Structure 1
Amino acid sequence: MNADVLRVLADPLRARIVELLAEEALCTCHLVEETGARQTNVSNHLRQLREAGIVEAEPCGRFTYYRLVPDALHRAAAHLTALADKARAADQPRRPC
């Protein structure tokens, strides 16, 4: 799960979408306007973000609003923190060749 979240966030447009959704719930048209990307491109990225559990969709009439799932980012951050702590604590031995 953490690797999926990190892979999904590695894309600059998806990372920008996540940054925007951290501030407020937005619909696709807002995200198109804010990012300058095409609607189909934004929709495809939103699908990947939903599948990774990073955002959730909320239907509202004709529109669908998206909001960030903070726990998904907390889990990814905790995973990276644990790796950093492990590297810091390790003696960093070298394997013999």
Structure 2
Amino acid sequence: MRYKPAAGIFVGGATMSICGPILGSASGFFASWALARGDSDMATVFFGVAALGALLALIGFFMLIAATHRALVKIDDLHVPAQARQNEDWPSRQY
């Protein structure tokens, strides 16, 4: 099985998930400020950037899910040797 890298996707997703809402919030604030001043053209630009920030946050969230899935697949596929203790019949257990 050939593995795909997960660390870069995780870092990118985390960065986008953090920066996207910050960009969206700041742009939404400036858009409402521009609307209050009566500058609808500038408000349209800021609303577009706010929508881009929301889209970045959503894509970053999906990247985090994909990276976590890839990492868990790698962890689940690790070989764990089963070693029995001395004088114990494997895999019987005493309760």
TM-score tier (shorter) = 0.3 to 0.5
Higher percent of residues as strand: 1
Q: Higher relative CO (CA 8 A, sep ≥ 6), structure 1 or 2?
A: 2
Higher percent of residues as helix: 2
Q: Which has the larger radius of gyration?
A: 2
TM-score normalized by the length of structure 2: 0.37
